[in-house]
Amino acid sequence: MGKPGGNLFCAMAALLALCCAGCASPDLIQFLQTYSPDNNESLPLLPTPGSTLPLSAALRLADSANPTIGLAEEFVRRDEAEFTIARALLLPSVNVGATLALHQGALLSAQGIVRNVERESLYFGAGADVRGAGPVAIPGVILTSHLGDAVFAPQVARQKVLARSLGAVATRHQVLLQTALAYLSLVGARAQVAALRQSESDLAEVVKLTETFAAKGQGREGDADRARGENLLLRSTILAAEEDAAFWATEVARLTSSDPSMQISPEPDRPLLLELVDARIPIEALIDEALARRPELAARGAAVALGEARLRQERWRPLAPTLAVGVSAGDFGGGSDQVGYRFSHFGSRLDVDVLAYWSLHNLGFGNRAAQNKVRAEIALADAQRARALDAVRREVAETLSQVTAQRRLLESAEKRTATAQQAFREDLTRARNIEGRLVEVLDSFNLLTAARQDHVKAASVYSQAQLSLFVAIGNSPLAALGQ
């Protein structure tokens, strides 16, 4: 028959293998994969100075490099580690060591007799700090856990991971939405500059015409001065528009964690006209879709479930015992000057200690206070969920109203731009044929410039409203790339 220590080591190895296999169960792996970051796309290349950056690349760059998204994902990984720790509360710890005890001098026996003794002992195996007839102070295999925590702590940790993961998804949606809106603002600002440059080209014809007429005596010098003044004013407007475009380029660089000195340019120089959500869908249907899909609401619901799991844990705390189990096995021997032998009589030693006790904190008042605290946290989480529901409903209604209004403004701006373009060309033709006044051409030009700016702005704001509504009903901005 083998030594107790050898049998115990085999049992310990089998127990640890079984428990470790349980920790890596398919359910756990599937759960962690379900709420892990879903970015499986290859990382985009960093933009080079003066390069164009498509919207898809900007979003993927923000998804992979934005520190706010990265911080949210790290919180998820931390809670996943806590979940693993909670799953392992019933796994024992293993200690292997040796104890050498030497004594010379007086000892007091249990009967009160003082003896001058020289003795020594040696222990080696599973455990440590073994002295004489006393128990093993550091057991070889030790398990100390509150059974209520062992049952409910994994449930609490699981809900915490779920809430944190959904919160990370919501954070990602919001950061990517900010990135997309900044990108659309940059595209709109660049389109404003392009429209102003087009107006500058049109105004150059007017300036040249007024100067020619003034030189030939066919027109007033005042008209030429006014045309030159309009040109200077237009250049100031172009400088302001370029400054606005530089601001949004810096904002895109910040959200994508890129170097703002690279002067990143968007891919198009005209507004992106996004059509992501049909504004004719009833608002009730859009709100229902948002309530079912928004990760913020799911995170709030998980927070309520987290509080309920904690309440069950606190209710069972005084009813479930704290269990302490210690098992040690090894070889022990020694001797003294009183028995006539030293470091001898070695043999196998097996110690098993099992302890269970129940605790009532502060005569039960501490347990009651802990339960009341958790109840208050549940009520707080439920109130936050109700507030989030109202915010989502309001957000969907506001963005849908903005989409509808901006669509009308866009259609009106298109007609206005076409009309102003035709009027300017007609007035310019009449002025060249000396059939109309040059001041009428300048008036038509100002109307055309304003119409172009309003058209660009309407297209940009409409696309931003469409994207905001698309995200408000629970979609990721990355999903808009396919549409």
Q: What is the CA radius of gyration of the chain?
A: 39
- Examine the pLDDT at 215 and tell me if it is beyond 50: yes
* Distance of alpha carbon 166 from the chain centroid: 8
How much is the pLDDT for 169? Answer: 94
How much is the pLDDT for 264? Answer: 66
Q: Does residue 80 contact residue 147 with C-beta atoms inside 8 Å?
A: no
Task: Give the long-range contacts of residues 398-402, CB within 8 A, separation 24 or more.
Answer: 399/465, 399/468, 399/469, 399/472, 400/279, 400/283, 400/286, 400/469, 402/461, 402/465, 402/468, 402/469
- Of residues 190 and 103, the one with the higher pLDDT is 190
- Examine the pLDDT at 8 and tell me if it is beyond 70: no
Q: Quote the pTM value.
A: 0.78
Of 81, 70, 93, 91, the residue nearest 157 (C-alpha): 81
- Examine the pLDDT at 96 and tell me if it is beyond 70: yes
* Distance of alpha carbon 218 from the chain centroid: 69
Query: What angle, rounded to 10 degrees, do the helices at 365-432 and 283-293 form?
Result: 130
Q: State whether residue 361 is helix, strand or coil.
A: helix
- Examine the pLDDT at 109 and tell me if it is beyond 80: no
- Examine the pLDDT at 346 and tell me if it is beyond 50: yes
Q: What does each C-alpha distance from 150 to 16, 91, 256, 317 come to in angstroms? A: 17, 10, 43, 11
**Which tokens belong to 11?**
């049992």
Go through the domains of the chain in sequence order and give each one's CATH number: 47-83+156-312+363-482 (1.20.1600.10)
- Examine the pLDDT at 99 and tell me if it is beyond 90: no
How much is the pLDDT for 213? Answer: 73
How much is the pLDDT for 56? Answer: 85
How much is the pLDDT for 258? Answer: 83
Cα–Cα dist 244/258, whole Å: 19
How much is the pLDDT for 438? Answer: 73
How much is the pLDDT for 48? Answer: 52
**Which of 111-115, 250-254, 376-380, 448-452 is the least confident region?**
111-115
